Amino acid sequence: MLGSFSTKEILETIKMIQMEHLDIRTTTMGISLFDCITSDINSTCDKIYDKIMKYAGNLVTTVKQIEEEFGITVANKRISVTPVSLTGGVSITRDGFIKIAKTLDKACNEIGIDFLGGYSALVQKGTTNVEEEFIDSIPEALAVTEHICSSVNVASTRAGINMDAVKKMGHIIKEMAELTKDRGALANAKFVVFANAVEDNPFMAGAFHGVSEPECVINVGVSGPGVVNDVVKKAGDVDLGTLSEIIKKTVFKITRAGELIGREAARRLGVKFGILDLSLAPTPAEGDSVAEILKGIGLEQPGAPGTTAALAMLTDAVKKGGVMASSYVGGMSGAFIPVSEDAGMIEAVKLGALTLEKLEAMTAVCSVGLDMVAVPGDTPAETISGLIADEIAIGVVNGKTTAVRVIVPPGAKVGDEVQFGGLLGMAIVQDINKFSAKRFIDRGGRIPAPITSMRN
């Protein structure tokens, strides 16, 4: 495998690791649970546990061995599974789904991983009775488990927007915030509402193993904001076209390192290599910030006029660099802007430079959406649903993935800090428009697919 890498590439990668915060952000094993479905919930849970242990029992050990041999840190070892709403059988109830969540959490504890994604539902065109039971289970499932992440896809460019589901999401988010209020509404940080969700996303909290995926795969998420920030600083005052080319070439090198690790992990675990998601995903660590890249490009603070254009250039360069390096680039691949997880974004919010409205505009050109933003605890459910609807509409009309991960800590007011620790960081509660969307949200129904969806 190493034979396809030049000595220069290897030395450059070592420098990125030692000095510029390059890591493999996640090695995520996707596992199909379709053959675990039975008519008895206890039997289903047993089959799910056994299958996860069969495929992922050695995931952490194997990846750690690769880390030691190659000298590249793999920050997280994770699992994604078939959307759980599809695995419970036709007669399962809310309590049955919660039992599955606890089973998945037990497997995570045994294996030693931090997050498992796939407690999910795909309801872009409508919900079945079983999916209603599943959605009702989400708040408690996230409250009583440690490692489980959840998502609901409420829209797609082909189907339009399921506004009944969007309305429900506002209430679900409020309920899970209340159930975990002693932990800063932690369940909110593990729940994502999507438009155009992708089936091979390795990043949490939105990962799930799609219905068209094979039995088991390894998907790799690579990050490197520190690496990109370093080359932007060194580039000096070059024009934007030249700067884009520099970023593209840097991302090419990062992607090559990620694919090396992913293919080796798949080989040793005896499963297929799936995709490599090259996304600039920040962490709270100093220097590991998308905001710092934007400042290096020339903005005083993220949120200043020009921010959306700078982010568009950055995202485009990342995507081009990735696809040059590998034929298997997938997931979302681009730039993430999770506010609580990026020290530079947190600073911009504190300074008043970065508002929810500006963040929404930025999501039209980046990889995801309104991510890890906090709003006051007394925000009405219909206002949260309106926030979701706006973000989801951007994704539907533009044929891209967008998402909302919003924190609504009970009792929190504008300017309060909500501490999560670790990769989730710290959120600043931001102001949100006080005018009501209740009548609009209460209409329900389905917003039809845009005319651009008619491509056959």
Report pLDDT for 1. 42
The Cα-based distances of 216 to 31, 221, 273, 312, 315 in angstroms read 5, 16, 9, 34, 29
Task: Give me the percent of the chain exceeding a pLDDT of 90.
Answer: 61
The whole-angstrom separation of Cα 73 and Cα 64 is: 9
Residue 133 confidence class, pLDDT cut points 50, 70, 90 = very high
Residue 2 confidence class, pLDDT cut points 50, 70, 90 = very low
Question: What value does the mean pLDDT of the chain take?
Answer: 88
State yes or no: pLDDT of 438 exceeds 90.
yes
The whole-angstrom separation of Cα 84 and Cα 36 is: 11
Residue 4 confidence class, pLDDT cut points 50, 70, 90 = low
Burial (CB count <10 Å: 0-12, 13-18, 19+), residue 440:
middle
Task: Give me the percent of the chain exceeding a pLDDT of 70.
Answer: 94
Contact call for residues 370 and 360 (beta carbons, < 8 A): yes
382-417 per-position pLDDT tens digit:
999 999 999 999 999 999 999 999 999 999 999 998
**Angle subtended at Cα 200 by Cα 424 and Cα 359, rounded to the nearest 5 degrees:** 45
Which range of 55-64, 310-319, 368-377 scores highest in mean pLDDT? It is 55-64
Reported pTM: 0.90
Beta bridge partners of 24: 74, 222
Helical pair 163-179 and 129-144, crossing angle rounded to 10 deg: 20
Residue 22 confidence class, pLDDT cut points 50, 70, 90 = low
The whole-angstrom separation of Cα 309 and Cα 315 is: 10
Higher per-residue confidence, 320 vs 128? 128
Beta bridge partners of 194: 153, 403
State yes or no: pLDDT of 19 exceeds 50.
no
Report pLDDT for 322. 80
240-250 per-position pLDDT tens digit:
999 999 888 88
Quick one: tokens of 208? 């799930």
Quick one: tokens of 440? 């609009």
The whole-angstrom separation of Cα 455 and Cα 147 is: 40
CATH of domain 1-456: 3.20.70.20
* Domain segments of the chain as ranges: 1-456
State yes or no: pLDDT of 172 exceeds 70.
yes
- CB-based contacts of 313, cutoff 8 Å, min separation 6: 240, 243, 244, 297
Instruction: Collect contacts of 354-360 with beta carbons under 8 A, ≥24 apart.
Output: 354/301, 354/302, 354/303, 355/303, 355/430, 355/431, 356/387, 356/430, 356/431, 356/432, 356/433, 358/303, 358/307, 358/308, 360/390, 360/391, 360/394
Q: What is the mean pLDDT of residues 142-165?
A: 96
Higher per-residue confidence, 121 vs 289? 121
214-271 per-position pLDDT tens digit:
999 999 988 778 888 888 988 889 999 999 998 888 888 777 778 888 888 999 999 9
Q: Which amino acid is at 80?
A: S
Q: What is the mean pLDDT of residues 327-343?
A: 80
Q: What is the CA radius of gyration of the chain?
A: 21
Minimum mean pLDDT range among 11-20, 270-279, 400-409: 11-20
Give the closest residue to 438 by CA, choosing from 369, 385, 378, 360: 385
Give the closest residue to 81 by CA, choosing from 234, 184, 207: 207
Give the closest residue to 405 by CA, choosing from 429, 427, 374, 378: 374
Report pLDDT for 14. 52
